[in-house]
Amino acid sequence: MTNSSENSVSQQQALDWFTRLRDERLDSAEREAFEAWIQLPQNAQAYAEVEHLWRTLELPAQRVRKAERSRRRPWRRLAAVACLVMAAGVAWISAPRLQGLGSDYVTAAGERREVLLGDGTRLWLDSASAVDVDLQGPMRRVWLREGRVFADVVRDGRPFVVQVDQAKVEVLGTRFSVSRSAVGDEVVLLSGRVQVRTPLQQQLLTPGQRLVVLDQQVQAPQAVDAERLLAWRSGLLQVREAPLKDVLRQLAEYQGKRLVLLDEKVGRQPVSGSFNLDRAGSALDALVSNRQLQAHTLMGHWLIIH
């Protein structure tokens, strides 16, 4: 990746980590992951910028909160206003990602696409995704520049490799998904076998398993319902006891928006159900209404929920 795109990813990760670290229930594994992440200079700088911005905005917000408390007005609404100000202030941090520009296959927010490659392999690109493909030579290669891709690989005697950040997913013939995000790269295996490699580690994955790669560290595989996790190929987001924040975030991203959820306690509420990704806006509105929350869109790119 270029320096500019590396900085953009670090800044987005810093925003996510800053929000997560304000949650008192963050477990030791997540804190260790944060400590490993912040060791990189560009990550430490990005996090310091977010902290500085928060301090700049929090002081006047505290003054307003103190005055409003004396009049017995609820702080929740003021928190929403303060968050709107913060979101506007950090909009410059979350610059548009440039990895997908000029890629071989690209999807816009809310779009999915099926691609048939020259070797018979099929790719399914999720919303806001981009890949480059090279089928020449002794090894077939796909570079995931952005978003998520599912591959149904046809055997032709040559290895098939999906490259995402510093990790390589190597297969001969199998069906699996690879995705990238600010909090780690994810691999979900539906059938076959894959080998996930980074410069530091490698891990074999078997059907029905999922693993995450964060800063070249390969986390232990977890048994999952792979069909449910991969339901996005059919335009569905299927969740079982998932945190409300994760569901809202995915529905927001399908509309090309970034989520800001004010109440972390509310964000931990469990959600189960099936949501239509082709009507992500309606699904999100219904979920927000059902939980008696309020949503506001800022600058067309930020979704503030309180």
What is the reported pLDDT for 53? 63
**pTM (whole model) above 0.85:** no
Nearest CA to 281 out of 297, 266, 268 is that of: 297
108 vs 75: CA distance, rounded Å: 38
Q: What is the pLDDT of residue 88?
A: 47
Residue 101 confidence (pLDDT)? 64
Q: Where are the beta strands (DSSP E) in the chain?
A: 105-106, 113-116, 122-125, 130-134, 140-146, 148-152, 160-164, 167-171, 175-179, 185-191, 194-197, 202-205, 209-214, 217-218, 222-223, 236-243, 258-261, 270-276, 295-298, 302-305
List the one residue out of 258, 253, 261 whose CA is nearest residue 288: 261
Q: Which residue has the tokens 């048939």?
A: 116
Half-sphere exposure of 106 (CA within 13 A, CB side): 10
> What domains does the chain contain, in order, with CATH numbers?
3-90 (no CATH), 105-226 (2.60.120.1440), 235-305 (3.55.50.30)
- Give the per-residue pLDDT at 48: 83
Q: Write out residues in the chain with pLDDT < 70, as ranges.
A: 1-12, 22-25, 52-101, 298-300
